[in-house]
Amino acid sequence: MAKYLLDTTTIIDHLRGNKKVNSCLEKMGQRGDIAGCCCINIVETYAGMREKEKEKTDRFIESLYSFEVTKEIAKLAGELRRNYVKKGKTLAVTDVIIAATAITYALTLITKNVEHYPFPELEIEKV
């Protein structure tokens, strides 16, 4: 059984009927894999949600495992971001928190935004 962290775009794409994402999630369910999110994904999803999507969004978010963002994850996110700032690259705080969550829990991140996550220690599956 594999464990996955869904990037916010993956969640939104699923809610809006993206066939590629839906197929990926279906296969995960058939295998008995764990699909989850963290608080950052929830904030971003609800911030971009259309009012007519609320009920569907509520149901889907509740169906996902919730990976807690701990102090250790916050520290790792800060270190990841600092290391890339030193290289002249600015990364979104939300993206480094998502990455640090996936790294800490040994999750594969499901995303279409691979370029947002340049961390060699992060396992990514592109959808």
Give the domain extent around 10. Answer: 3-67+102-126
CA distance 106 to 22: 23
Please tell me the pTM assigned to this model: 0.96
Residue 91 lies in a domain: no
**Per the domain annotation, does 51 fall within a domain?**
yes
Please determine, for residue 76, whether its predicted confidence score (pLDDT) is greater than 90: yes
Number of domains in the chain: 1
What pLDDT, on the 0 to 100 scale, is given for residue 78? 98
Q: Is residue 96 part of a domain?
A: no
DSSP 8-state code for residue 113: -
Domain-located, residue 54: yes
CATH of the domain at 39: 3.40.50.1010
Which tokens sit at 119?
Answer: 């961390």
The strand pairing partners of 6, in sequence order, are 110
Kindly state the percentage of the chain with pLDDT values over 90. 99
Examine residue 73 and state whether it is found in any structural domain, yes or no.
no
